[in-house]
Amino acid sequence: MPAVNVAIAPAPHRSAPDMPASGPIADRFGRVHRDMRISLTDRCSLRCTYCMPEQGSEWLARQSILTTDEIERIARIAATHGITTFRLTGGEPLLRRDLEDVVARLARIPGAEIAMTTNAIGLDRRLPALVDAGLGRLNISIDTLDRDRFRELTRRDRLDDVLRGIRAASEAGIGPLKLNAVAMRGVNDTEIADLVQFAIDHGAQMRFIEQMPLDAGHTWSRSEMVTREEILGRLRERWAIEPVPGRGGAPAESWRLDGSERTVGVIASVTAPFCGACDRMRLTADGQIRNCLFSNSEFDLVPLLRGGSDDAAIEGMLRRAIWGKLPGHAVGDESFLQPARGMNAIGG
């Protein structure tokens, strides 16, 4: 990978204190963690080029996938120590047959908010039950509105299914509804304004994500990536844009369109990382805690879950995983090593 100069946005430096045994789950830079991304499966109904290989995926062994009881136990322990948002992801969470049960059980945890990131294939049929179960927020991925491009990009001819899912979410009034697209040169960079209009028409916020080096094929290159600046340039071709203040810990910066209430989000994970405000931890479908998308280390909860350990041991593992978090990632830096897992197996 070529050496490029990408800024890290580190957490503010503090002298390293000892790991606290109680209180909220925090790292040594003072970042308190509130958000847990839970991957329910590494399998998917699509094969997006930036995420999965066309074929030859080595799937996680079925017996290694966490059961719903195990997920609920981890979530309850995390919630007791300050985690308030659980975002279900994958792979494709809709491929999990008992998804409604997962949502219902997590939604019963006091103070928990349940969100999901999905490609929306089959969502129209399952949405009423998911909403009843307590699903609160929904992010749907859609990178292009062009059927041929969609087929090339995802290696599946399923655009109509995705559009049906988006319509169902829009009509259900689930809110806030967000649509996500990875911006890609020569693929959808000319569609940026059209995607924004599509989202507005469906009562949703469009968000554009800089492509990250998490593809299974390890083909990411910085020079091919569409940057935040380019995305903003495309938006300016159609609207006057101004930043919305008060981003907080959110990964997306919001931009107001023509002074209206309508906004677009830009997630500049590579060129303007938001590591300093990161409050996320990840639980993979096979029970590993990851403190960062780009981390090369994992903390295995399975021996504890299946070996009769008590809740305190699991809490301790969550705390240790987050205590070891680095101040920022160094994507694009010469020393950067792409994680062995593809995005589908980490949980985006």
Q: Considering the complex, what minimum distance in angstroms separates the CB of residue 159 from ligand SF4? A: 12
119 interacts with ligand SAM by CB under 6 A: yes
215 binds, among ligand SAM, ligand SF4, none (CB under 5 to 8 A by kind): ligand SAM
Residues of span 44-83 touching ligand SAM by CB under 6 A: 44, 50-51
Cα dihedral value 153, 126, 70, 29, nearest 10: 60
Residue range at the interface with ligand SF4 (CB under 6 A); choices 69-77, 86-94, 216-224, 322-330? 86-94
- The helix/strand count (H/E) of the chain reads as 10, 12
Give the count of alpha carbons within 13 A of 15, CB side only.
Answer: 0
- Token pair listed for 206: 């469009």
Residue range at the interface with ligand SF4 (CB under 6 A); choices 43-51, 61-69, 74-82, 279-287? 43-51
285 interacts with ligand SAM by CB under 6 A: no
Distance (Å, rounded) from C-alpha 133 to C-alpha 181? 27
209 binds, among ligand SF4, ligand SAM, none (CB under 5 to 8 A by kind): ligand SAM
Distance (Å, rounded) from C-alpha 148 to C-alpha 150? 5
User: Smallest Cα–Cα separation from 75: which of 66, 348, 127?
Assistant: 66
In the three-class reduction of DSSP (H, G, I as helix; E, B as strand; rest coil), residue 43 is classed as coil
- Member of 49, 85, 170, 211 binding ligand SAM (CB under 6 A): 211
Asked if residue 287 lies in contact with residue 64, where contact means CB atoms within 8 angstroms, the answer is yes
91 interacts with ligand SF4 by CB under 6 A: yes
| Cα four-point dihedral sign 200, 201, 207, 211 | negative
214 binds, among ligand SF4, ligand SAM, none (CB under 5 to 8 A by kind): ligand SAM
Residues of span 20-49 touching ligand SAM by CB under 6 A: 44
Radius of gyration of the chain (CA): 19
Asked if residue 187 lies in contact with residue 149, where contact means CB atoms within 8 angstroms, the answer is yes
- Member of 1, 9, 19, 47 binding ligand SF4 (CB under 6 A): 47
Taking every pair of Cα atoms in the chain, the longest distance, rounded to a whole number of angstroms, is 59
187 interacts with ligand SF4 by CB under 6 A: no
143 interacts with ligand SF4 by CB under 6 A: no
Nearer to ligand SAM, 180 or 263 (CB): 180
Residues that bind ligand SAM (CB under 6 A): 44, 50-51, 89-90, 92, 117-119, 141, 180, 182, 209, 211-212, 214-215, 343-344, 348
